[in-house]
Every structure is written in C-alpha cells, then in structure tokens.
Chain A
Amino acid sequence: GNSVTQMEGPVTLSEEAFLTINCTYTATGYPSLFWYVQYPGEGLQLLLKATKADDKGSNKGFEATYRKETTSFHLEKGSVQVSDSAVYFCALKLGQEYGNKLVFGAGTILRVKS
C-alpha cells in the first residue's frame, strides 16, 4: 500500500538552529511528494513539492530533495525562526489512476524558542 512515515515530534529547537524533519514513503508507481505546513489556528498550506526523483523543492528557506533510492523526502532549514513553529505534514500523491488523493504522514510538531 501507499504510506508516509514522519519522525515523531514534538521537535523543539532554539532560534537559528538547523532543522531536519525526516520523511520516508512507500508507494506503488511514481508519486509526487509534498510538504504542507499548518500554523496555529490556520489551515493547511503547501510549503514545497517535488514531482520526480532528484528534484529539489524549496520555499521560505526550507528545502527537500526527492530521493528515490532511499524513498525519502526529508525537510531541512538552515536557520529556524520562532515564526516557523507549526505542524509539518509530509505527503505523497499518485496519479489519476490511483485516485489523485494525498496520503499524509502523521505530522511533526515544531516548536522554536527565542
């Protein structure tokens, strides 16, 4: 089946620390991979995506590289800010023949202290 596994949180970091949130996946076919973010009291927002192997998605200082050989899509940021505190969801999406739906990981809570 199709599934996404994320590192468990909460992850607590000091401001300007380096962030890694691990994400691995199992999928039939060739998925697109996404990171969504949910800030406190807000809805899900797309953070970045990658549609094929070796693609790198980036946005707001966050990056993730689609690694087919390790079936991973780890999220990284070089220097986190307090405003990055949120829940981060890794997700995969297969094509129309698999229903086009997103399959999400459980989410990782990030807390950044000043």
Chain B
Amino acid sequence: GAGVSQSPSNKVTEKGKDVELRCDPISGHTALYWYRQSLGQGLEFLIYFQGNSAPDKSGLPSDRFSAERTGGSVSTLTIQRTQQEDSAVYLCASSLMGSFGRGSETQYFGPGTRLLVL
C-alpha cells in the first residue's frame, strides 16, 4: 500500500477484556516497530520486528502485551486483560533495513489506534 495502515482507528473496551491491534506496513519494508503515545509517558518504544522475528522486546510494559508478525508483513499487537493505564494511542512504523550498525533508515508511521479502556 501507499503507507502504513492500522486498524481499528479507535477501540473502546472494558477493563479485563483482550484487544488486538493490527498493522499493515509499507510493502517491501522488512522492519516493523510498535510505539505507544500516552499523556503521561510521551512516545515509548514497545517492540521491533526484523522480518518475522523480534530481536528487541524490551519496551513491552508487562507480560499482558505480546506481538507477532507473519509472512514478513502484517503484525498484531495483543493486550490481554486490559487495564485503564493501557489507554493510549498505539503507533506502528515500518522501515527498510539498512546496513548493519547504521541507524539512518527512516521509520514511517501509521495513523495509530486510539485505545480507551473503561
């Protein structure tokens, strides 16, 4: 597609329910990232995929959060037993993989999924 797409754009759920957020990266981008944007914490890194593997999960805030990527394309971020503090905008980004050791590859962001946990 032309850009990174995410669905749903908005999600309202009740505390304790599970939610799944989807990200479709730019075609041909092998790297995929999830970030979270919340009022109190700003923009935080969650997890990074290189192909289908996740070499860096260091930003996942708890074991209620998990993510997978299949076919080197679509990724799903799952939050189990949601809590009110999970309310935030979840952003997905993708990039081309550049040469090892350089961080110059630009990340392109999707519009985000706004999650509200009641």
Q: Which residues of A contact B (CB under 8 A)?
A: 31-32, 34, 36, 42-46, 49, 51, 89, 93-107
Contacts and interface: CB of A to CB of B under 8 A. Distances in A.
Contacts of A32: 102-104
Contacts, number: 74
A80 B107 CA distance: 26
A100 B56 contact: yes
Contacts of B43: 89, 102, 104, 107
Interface string B91-105: 101010100111111
Contact of A43 (B101, B104, B112): B112
A35 B32 CA distance: 19
A46 B105 contact: no
Interface residues of B, number: 29
Contacts of B48: 99-101
Interface in B59-118: 59, 91, 93, 95, 97, 100-112
Given A32-B103, A51-B102, A93-B103, 20 more contacts: A32-B102, A32-B104, A43-B109, A43-B110, A43-B112, A46-B108, A51-B104, A89-B43, A93-B105, A95-B102, A96-B97, A96-B101, A96-B102, A96-B103, A99-B48, A99-B55, A100-B56, A101-B59, A102-B45, A102-B107
A93 B45 CA distance: 11
B58 interface: yes
Given A43-B112, A44-B109, A107-B43, A97 B101 contact: yes
B1 interface: no
B26 interface: no
A103 B107 CA distance: 12
Contacts of B58: 99
A43 B111 contact: yes
A86 to B, nearest CB: 14
A106 B109 contact: no
